[in-house]
């Protein structure tokens, strides 16, 4: 797996960099290959991030996800690589990835990885009923 964000990923300027807001992205159709058996692994990938200067362009993110279809990768490795790539590309205030892999041999795998910019502090959120 690449240690650099693939050239597939594109960005655009955050239209409201003065404000903290959360972007939610969900793809229930992620696939990669088991590095041991070569069989396909399927996952629902959820990304939440608070942008700083940049946002990820969604069509490029779709192509980025597709680039994993022919790669063998452990669930933990692929989830952490996505975080690394997106953090390097976007330099977000906050980013979390939840990867929920479908059952294989009677086991489900869920991986959660996070990044927080060292200078960013979460404000108290308002929780409405």
Q: Catalytic amino acids?
A: 34, 41
* Residue (of 111, 78, 116) closest to 2 by Cα position: 78
3-state SS of 10-46 is CEEECCCCCCCCCEEEEEEEEEEECCCCCCEEEEEEE
- Beta carbons of 50 and 19 less than 8 angstroms apart: no
Q: What angle do CA 124, 125, 128 make, to 5 degrees?
A: 140
């Amino acid at each position: 797996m690449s240690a650099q964000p693939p050239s597939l990923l594109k960005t655009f300027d955050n239209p409201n960099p003065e404000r903290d807001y959360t972007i939610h992205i969900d793809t229930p159709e992620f696939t990669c290959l088991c590095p041991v058996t070569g069989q396909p692994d399927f996952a629902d990938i959820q990304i939440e991030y608070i942008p700083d200067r940049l946002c990820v362009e969604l069509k490029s993110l779709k192509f980025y996800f597709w680039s994993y279809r022919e790669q063998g990768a452990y669930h933990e490795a692929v989830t952490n690589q996505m975080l690394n790539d997106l953090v390097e590309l976007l330099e977000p205030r906050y980013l979390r990835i939840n990867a929920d892999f479908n059952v294989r041999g009677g086991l489900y795998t869920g991986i959660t990885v996070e990044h927080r910019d060292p200078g960013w502090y979460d404000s108290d959120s308002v929780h409405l009923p």
